[in-house]
Structure 1
Amino acid sequence: MRVSRLGSDGTRAGRPSARDADDVRAETPATAARADESHTARRRDPLAIAARLSPLLGLAVSIGLVWWGLDSGVLRSLANLQAFIDSLGAWGPIVFLIVSAAAVVFPIVPGGLLVIAGPVLFGAIEGTVYNYIAVCAGSLLNFLIARHVGLALIERIFPARLVDKYLGWTRSPHFTRAFAIAIVLPVAPDDLLCYLAGTTRMRWGTYVAIILLGKPWALVAYGLGISTVLLQLVPW
């Protein structure tokens, strides 16, 4: 004879009771409704909309600048471009620093393009120094913003799937080491990681040391390296 085990409420052990099933059926629509409301709210959020549209706006502005540069002759040769930058005086580096730092904090234009543009516009050494100042300033600001605002802002700026993918890194006891490697070797979206680092218990001094000591390697390898190759390959 097979004896059925009963739970404390008189139902078969391991099987949900009718009341549990009713609860599941009652909770499922509510959970789905909340998820839909959250998704709808994100779609209507002005900051989230701006984050989605800003790359397109940056692309449109970039195309407009290229068209103007070709029409005016500034972009017809590297000598013309550098002469134009020199004619701006101190405003050239100032504008570049502001735009580059802002691109780290908010995705106005792809930051990688500006990192490559630095050595082309200002020369290898000066352009790399400007890249370093701008990227470090933006990265430090990302940490401070996240520390005071929290994860809610990050989820509004970056795609939810991307945030969920790298949020697991912050739960690892080795996050600080992984973060340092990601800063030295640009193998992950370091702008997002800088924001996420601000939501962890990482100390400010540790974060500053990683940024200041780790960024030069990536900037030299990526910005200076690629710009040098492009100038060699592209007749300008």
Structure 2
Amino acid sequence: MIAVAGHDPLRIAARIAPFVGLLACVAVVAWGLRTGVLQSQENLRAFIESLGWPGPIVYTILSAAVVVFPIVPGGLLVISAPVLFGGLWGTVLNYVAVCAGSFVNFWIARRYGMPLIRRLFPEHIVDKWLSWTEHRNFARGFALAIAMPIAPDDLLCYIAGTTSMTWRRYALIILTCKPWALIAYGLGVSALLAKVLPW
């Protein structure tokens, strides 16, 4: 049974999590500036390399988890990967993490349905995108949204799991369309930030 909206722990956690994540990001930046890690790109890369092989693994797991439960805006991690690990390797890590998280979202929606989705996301946003599934070209529109960073694709992955879309078709869309959004958003924005940041 779903708890009353006002006292639903999951709903409350979903609303509070972005603020907690934002505070965590501010704390990490403050730590990086204080220790000198963020004073230059060379310092940042040296710190990442000092972490060894666990660094990329922890980053990938964290990025996948953020796709499932948005503690921080996923875009921040997508942008940071090319900066932390280089353009090619960062894009590969983004691809693995985002695809893995997207598959988990679809599975969760298939297993627990719309009631859980409405606990994780504001109802007016869910209703806005849910009506989109009634369109006969939903699969094409979904593929376009996944390929272009213009929609809340994490939510759309959940919603897709409540439709008649097969696992095979969903996997095909995610695996073939995700790279374009990651390249455009991750590499594009990170390259722009690299020119703006005083490094």
* 1:56 counterpart = 2:19: yes
Distance in structure 1 (CA, Å) of the matches to 2:8 and 2:133? 26
Alignment partner for residue 153 of structure 1, among 88, 109, 116? 116
**Correspondences of 1:1-236 after superposition (within 5 Å):** 41-236=4-199
Distance in structure 2 (CA, Å) of the matches to 1:48 and 1:105? 14
Q: How far 1:233 moved relative to its partner?
A: 2.4
Distance in structure 2 (CA, Å) of the matches to 1:108 and 1:84? 24
Deviates more, 1:226-235 or 1:176-185: 226-235
Distance in structure 1 (CA, Å) of the matches to 2:6 and 2:187? 39
Distance in structure 2 (CA, Å) of the matches to 1:102 and 1:232? 30
The one-letter code of the counterpart of 1:74 is V
Distance in structure 2 (CA, Å) of the matches to 1:135 and 1:228? 20
Distance in structure 2 (CA, Å) of the matches to 1:66 and 1:82? 15
Which secondary structure does the structure 2 equivalent of 1:235 belong to?
A: coil
Q: How far 1:42 moved relative to its partner?
A: 1.1
Distance in structure 1 (CA, Å) of the matches to 2:82 and 2:175? 19
Q: Which has the higher contact order (CA 8 A, sep 6+)?
A: 2
Percent of aligned pairs with the same amino acid = 60
The one-letter code of the counterpart of 2:11 is A
Distance in structure 2 (CA, Å) of the matches to 1:142 and 1:117? 23
Q: Which consecutive segments of 4 or more residues in structure 1 shift more than 2 A?
A: none
Higher Rg:
1
Which secondary structure does the structure 2 equivalent of 1:202 belong to?
A: coil
The one-letter code of the counterpart of 2:18 is P
- Count of residues in correspondence between the two structures: 198
